Amino acid sequence: MGKYEMHILMKSCWFLPVRLLWIACMLCVPQFVVAQQSTGECDVALKKETYVSFLLSINRSEVTQIQSALNKTGVSQLVTDGLFGQATRTALYQFCLKLENVPESDLAVNLVQALEQQVLLMEDEALTPNVSTESTKKLPAVVNTKLTEESTGDLPGIYYLLREEDLAAVTAAKTAAAIKNTKGENSDESVAKDNAAQEIKWPSDEEMASLETITTIPYVNQAQFRSAVMSIKVIDQEKYPEFITLLTDAAKKKASTKLEPIVLDDTGCGCVRDFSNMIYGFYPYWRSTVDRQSDAVEDDVATAVVVPAIDYSVFTRIAYYALTLEENGDITTPLHWNTGGKLGNFINNAHRHKTKVDLVVYSDHWAQWSESSLKRSVMSVYNQLRLEVEYKEGGLMQYVPLLNSTTASPDGVTLYFDGYFDHVESSYKIIEFIRQLYERLEDLEADYKINILLDVDSTELASSKPIFNSIKNLLVNDKNDNPAYVDGLLVFLNEPTTTSKKILRSKIENEFSGAERMAVLRKVIPIITPYKHDNDELGPYTQFDDDLIYLKNNFSGVALWPLPMVADADAAMISQRLIKYFGVSDVEGLLNTISARYPALCEYGCPNRWLFRLAIDVLLFFLITYAVLALFSSRVRRFYSKYSVYFILYIIVMIVVFMVSLMCDSFWKQKRDTVLLGSILIIAAFFMVRKYSRVKQGPLP
């Protein structure tokens, strides 16, 4: 080895440690930068201001649960005293640093949600966290909003709707098969497909035409659609099994999950009326404006998109259909139901019309729940019900400070347990799930309602297998006076409803007796379709009328899936019949009678009751202010004498606003006549005292 080569080797060896140090620094810098960014995002977790609105929604016992959860994760050793101080904020900050994805908004709510999910995960996997170890595993993000094609979350978006073009395509397939049979052609490239079509036993043209009665009617699932097909007398399952399968495939639709805010027009329908029974409506998420626009584009129809509207005056409660509980208990696809505000106006519009809003949560894995996944499912539903979404007021309210923007929350939940009949023996899991959810919701100030939705067809109802008795503890009070956790039991009625509704009642009568039977019947709400009743077999709306009368007298009410939109062909007739059979006309009090008999008087006043309340307050404030000033200033009194006409107009406006508020605002419902009589007496007393004081004072010099 020469001198030059030795010099190069020594130089390289001398630089080797420096180079290794430089490489190490380059590798560490990105992690350092990311760590700095993550730390910076979590800094707000230390600030008291971050938790101001969050603390208003929880109580001391819930703070204790948060402190206990923080201790379980190993980030702290807090005293579980229920006091949300600096120590608790520091522990949440340490927990925030462990998250892979720090929440961008609602940090307080999302941190606590992630904390609860992590504790459940630890219980499920028997994890023992060690925060001192360098290889501490990063926690998952709060909510994973990505949806794979195979996810259970797709199921509420799958429905069955036989459009006219679908029926035309099936008819064309029948015609093509007949031609192939006639010509005997079976050697082209589509031979397999053609042979399959030729093997189907096809209905006659007259029988095919009878399917027009179920076109354009959406059905919630395959069983509901097939029962509707087989309710047509000429379409027999045994005679045309392959054809019914082909028809079912043609009707199957999958809704998009790429949705914009729900846009609903305000039709001036007024607030919900007084009804003798519950009227429940389901709003599937895929009925939003965007889906209707996309359908128009796909069909290449150049028609203007009509902004949909709901007649809130005929619905006691409306349910948003539906979020899905995954197998592990998470809700990974929130759809409109998230903090982004896409649902705010939907909830607010309903609340303005005094209609309650429920969230439907779907599960087809409930029978396989472990103890930890059951708890996780409870927390997922609980967190969704506590969600507050922002909304912007419309109309005149958008110009009113402090009232033009706020938050809205749901009023209850409807839990859809799919496949219930096949897993009745696992119904104890449903009972435990609802018991835990009920106890959590009971700690909140809001009066949340819990409903159950079961998809049980007529064949299952007619079987000897007990169905409803296994969840009796949810429906009626037990001997120890424990509460009935469930407020309503919704059940889909198969076609034909003329028999399925009677089978449902008979099933309940066989499983319960006495007071329990009556209590259960008064909680059952059968679900029927509101469409195509102008084609009822015995005449337009005859079967629908018969159903409504029967449901009113035997159950808690009626539910419509999906609820009709105002622009739908049958909407007006459906609303008229709901009012006719369920409306309450016998009310107490003069003003209540007037408002019930002439609901058009309050079509604007009731939904805008906050505006009238504010107007009354402002008008009354100025009137009282003037009266007080007039007591001490003759100049102010002369102002009245000079402009008395305007004062009279002012008083007239005030009286009109007051009367609209009194008649249309449900706040006054139980005391309208009393308030009116009291107001008249006060005004009369004022003028009598005023006249008496003038007479006593005598003429002024």
In this structure, of 27-31, 44-48, 69-73, 161-165, the range with the lowest mean pLDDT score is 27-31
pLDDT over 70 (residue 108): yes
Copy the structure tokens of residue 629: 């000033």
- DSSP per-residue string spanning 628-666: HHHHH-HHHHHHHHHTHHHHHHHHHHHHHHHHHHHHH-G
Q: How far apart are CA 340 and CA 551, in angstroms?
A: 39
pLDDT of residue 391: 66
Query: Is residue 359 within 8 Å of residue 414, measured between CB atoms?
Result: yes
Would you place residue 432 in the very low, low, confident or very high pLDDT band (cuts 50, 70, 90)? very high
pLDDT score for 653: 92
Mean pLDDT computed over every residue of the chain: 79
Please give the Cα distance from 680 to 234 (Å, whole number): 69
Percent with pLDDT over 90 in the chain: 31
What residue segments make up the domains of the chain, in order of their start? 27-125, 152-254, 609-697
For residue 17, what pLDDT is reported? 42
Q: Please state, for a pLDDT cut of 70, what percent of the chain lies above it.
A: 77
Contact 377, 400 (CB under 8 A): no
148 or 90, which is more confident: 90
pLDDT for 242 equals: 85
Minimum mean pLDDT range among 31-40, 249-258, 419-428? 31-40
Q: DSSP string covering 424-481, please?
A: GGGHHHHHHHHHHHHHHHHTSSS--EEEEEE---HHHHTSSS--SGGGHHHHS--TT-
pLDDT of residue 452: 97
Neighbours of 406 (CB within 10 A): 13
User: Mean pLDDT lowest for which of 255-259, 416-420, 428-432, 516-520?
Assistant: 255-259
**pLDDT at site 399:** 57
Per DSSP, the three-state class of 112 is helix
- Does the pLDDT value for residue 433 go beyond 90? yes
pLDDT bracket for residue 72 (50, 70, 90):
confident
- Is pLDDT of 521 > 50? yes
DSSP for 465-526, please give it. S--SGGGHHHHS--TT------SEEEEEPPSPHHHHHHHHHHHHHHH--HHHHHHHHTTEEE
pLDDT tens, residue by residue, 328-386: 899 988 888 875 556 778 888 899 899 999 999 999 999 999 999 999 999 999 999 98
Mean pLDDT, residues 676-693: 81
When comparing pLDDT for 615 and 130, which is higher?
A: 615
The pLDDT, as a whole number, for residue 458 is 86
Residues 6 or more apart in contact with residue 222 via CB below 8 angstroms: 160, 248, 252
pLDDT tens-digit readout, 263-303: 777 666 788 888 999 999 999 988 874 444 444 334 444 44
**Section 6-35 average pLDDT:** 39
Tell me the CA distances in angstroms from 603 to 145, 311, 392, 658, 700, one per residue in order. 40, 11, 21, 16, 51
Can you tell me the mean pLDDT for 620-627?
Answer: 90
The whole-number pLDDT of residue 394 equals 62
Query: Which pLDDT does position 306 carry in this prediction?
Result: 54
Q: Tens digits of per-residue pLDDT, 184-220?
A: 554 444 444 444 445 678 888 888 888 888 999 999 9
Residue 427, pLDDT above cutoff 90: yes
Comparing 161-175, 333-347, 576-590, the range with the smallest average pLDDT is 333-347
Indicate if the pLDDT at residue 147 is higher than 70: no
For the chain, the first-to-last Cα distance in angstroms comes to 135
Lowest mean pLDDT among 136-150, 452-466, 523-537, 582-596: 136-150
User: Where does the pLDDT of residue 506 fall: very low under 50, low under 70, confident under 90, or very high at 90 and above?
Assistant: very high
Count of residues for the chain? 701
pLDDT digits (tens, 9 = 90+) for 447-482: 899 999 998 888 899 888 999 999 998 999 876 677
The predicted structure's pLDDT at residue 125? 53
The pLDDT score that the predictor gives to residue 320 is 94
pLDDT, position 303: 40
pLDDT of res. 57: 65
Q: Give residue for tokens 């994973």.
A: 144
Find residue 413's DSSP bridge partners. 359, 450
- Cis-peptide into 209, omega within 30 deg: no
Exposure string for 89-121, b = 16+ CB within 10 A, e = fewer: bbbbbbbbbbbebbbeebbbbbbbbbbbbbbbb
Q: Which amino acid appears at position 53 of this protein? A: S
Calculate Rg over the CA atoms of the chain.
Answer: 33
Tokens of 546: 């018969």
- Phi/psi for 513 (5° steps) reads -145, 160
- Please name which of 528, 540, 522 lies closest in space to residue 500, comparing C-alpha atoms: 528
**Is the overall model pTM greater than 0.85, yes or no?**
no
532, pLDDT greater than 60: yes
Flag whether pLDDT at 390 surpasses 80: no
For the cut 80, the answer to whether the pLDDT of residue 695 exceeds it is no
What tokens were used for 132? 């001192």
d(CA 53, CA 108): 9
Residue-level pLDDT at 182: 56
